[in-house]
Amino acid sequence: MLNKLQFYIDGKWVDPVTPRPHDVINPSNEEAFARISLGSKADVDKAVAAARRAFETFSRTTKEERLALMAKIVEVYQKHYGEIVEAISTEMGAPLGLSKNAQAAMGIAHFSQAMNVLKEFNFETVKGSTAIVYEPVGVIGMITPWNWPINQIACKVAPAIAAGCTMVLKPSEIAPMNALLFAQVMDEAGVPPGVFNLINGDGPGVGEAMSAHPGIDMMSFTGSTRAGIAVAKAAADTVKRVAQELGGKSANIILDDADLKKAVVSGVMNMFSNSGQSCNAPSRMFVPRAKHDEAAGIAKVAAERAKVGDPFADGTTMGPVVSEAQYNKIQGLIQKGIDEGATLVTGGTGRPEGLNRGYYVRPTIFANVTNDMTIAREEIFGPVLAMLPYDTEEEAIRQANDTVYGLSGYVQSGDIEHARKVASQLRTGNVHLNGAGVDLNAPFGGYKQSGTGREWGEFGFEEFLEVKAVMGYAA
C-alpha cells in the first residue's frame, strides 16, 4: 500500500490540517493500492494564500523566463514518463499502450503547444492612442477528472503558467496518483513556491471551498455537467470567471455517400477507446435506415474484436471502467436499453467472459434506437454505442442537435463538401470530418450544457488572460 498523505503547497510537501485518509482503488482487481488524504477548507486557505503571494512576483516574469521554466518542466516530465504511464493504467484502467501513447503523451503535447503560443503572443498592442494589454487573470482554481487525468491537468496548468497565473489544483480523488507525480515534476523543475499547489479532496470538502473562495480569481473545471453547475453556483457570489468542460452525447452521422464499413468500424473503435470514458465519444451513430441492418452487422464484428482485460496484459484494447459506481451506472443503463426495446446487437449486462473481478464492461452495441430512449439521451460514459436509423439527412441533423449537450459531432461522407455542409448545421463546439482526430491548435469546448469557455492552443491560453485598456498611452 502506497501512502501519499501529503499535499504540495508553497513549494513543500505538507500534512493536511485535518487527517482524512482515503483509499485509491485499482479498478482491475477492486483492491486498494494507495492511500491519500482528503483536504478541507483549511487546506484550501493555505494553498490560496501561497498562490496569492506567488502571483505578486510570478505575474511580472518575462515571456523568456516562463518559456525556460516550461522547457524545464517538459524535461523533468520526460524523466518520470514511465511512472506516469504506470500510474494512469493502475488507477483508472487505461490499457498500457493507450496510457503511453495518448494519456501521458498529452502532458508533453499541451506544454509544447502552450510554449509555441507564448512565443508568438503579443501581450500589448496600440490602437490609436490606447494600449490594449493582456494580463494574467490571477489565482486559478483547477478541478480535473479521472478519465484523461494528465491531459486535463496539463491543458490547464500549461497555459496558466504561460500566462503568468498561479494555481491550486484539485485532481480527482478516484485517480490522484498521476497528479502527485505531476506535482513532483513541478517541484523538481524548480517552479517557484506557491505558483503550483495541489490539494487532494472531494467536491464537498475541497471543490466547493475553492469555487467559493474570494482569493481565487477563476475556476477552471472539467467533469460532469451536474458538478459543473455546482461549481458555477458556488462561484457566483464572488463573481469569478468560470470555464467549464462538461458532458457530451456526441452524434456520429454516417451519410448515405460514406464508405459504410470504414465509417462504422472507425466509429465503433473510437467509441470503445478509453472504455468509452471520453466526454467527446461518438456515442450516437446515425445510419440511413436502408443501411441500418448492414451497419449493425459491421458494428457487431468490430465490437467483438475488442480485447477486454488487464491493462498491463499484451493485446488488451479495453480495460475496466474506473470505479464500482461507474460500473453500476453503466450496467443500469444497458439494462434500460434492453427494457425500452432497443435491439441488443452484442454485449449486454455483466462482465465479459472469463473476467470475474474488476470493473470490466462488455463492449455493447444497441441498434434500432430511437431518440427518445434513455440510452440516446443520457451520457453513459462507458463502452455502449447506440445506433439510430434515419430516413432523411434533415432528420439526422435535427435529432443530432436534439440534446442538452453540444461538445463534439462526427460526420462521415464520401464528399468533403457534403460533410462540411452537414457540419455547419451541428450545434457543437467541435466537429470531426471523416475520422479527423483532435487538433491541439483548435479550441476544445462545447455549446449548451457541455460547458463554457475553450481549452487548447491560443484559445485556451487566452482564457487565463484579462484585457486592460490604457487610454492616452500614445501621444
Burial, 205: exposed, middle or buried (Cβ in 10 Å; 0-12, 13-18, 19+)?
buried
One-letter amino acid for residue 188 of the chain? E
Q: Of residues 279, 379, 458, 463, which has the active-site annotation?
A: 279
Using DSSP's 3-state secondary structure scheme, residue 357 falls into coil
Burial, 432: exposed, middle or buried (Cβ in 10 Å; 0-12, 13-18, 19+)?
buried
468 neighbors 135 (Cβ within 8 angstroms): yes
**CA 456 remoteness from chain centre:** 11
Q: Which residues is 444 bridged to in the sheet? A: 455
Q: Of residues 91, 173, 208, 245, which has the active-site annotation?
A: 245
279 annotated active-site: yes
Cell of 31: 483492491
With left for phi above 0 and alpha for psi between -120 and 50, is residue 350 left, alpha or beta? left
Number of residues written out for the chain: 475
Radius of gyration of the chain measured on its C-alpha atoms: 23
245 annotated active-site: yes
Q: What are the residues whose beta carbons fall under 8 Å from the beta carbon of 304, sequence distance 6 or more?
A: 346, 363
- Write down the residue that cell numbers 467536491 correspond to: 203
Q: What are the residues whose beta carbons fall under 8 Å from the beta carbon of 240, sequence distance 6 or more?
A: 216, 217, 218, 219
Q: How far apart are CA 177 and CA 326, in angstroms?
A: 19
Where are the strands (E) in 27-174, listed by range?
A: 31-37, 124-127, 130-136, 139-143, 166-170
Q: How far apart are CA 106 and CA 152, in angstroms?
A: 9
185 neighbors 158 (Cβ within 8 angstroms): no
Cell of 394: 434533415
Residues with active-site annotation = 245, 279
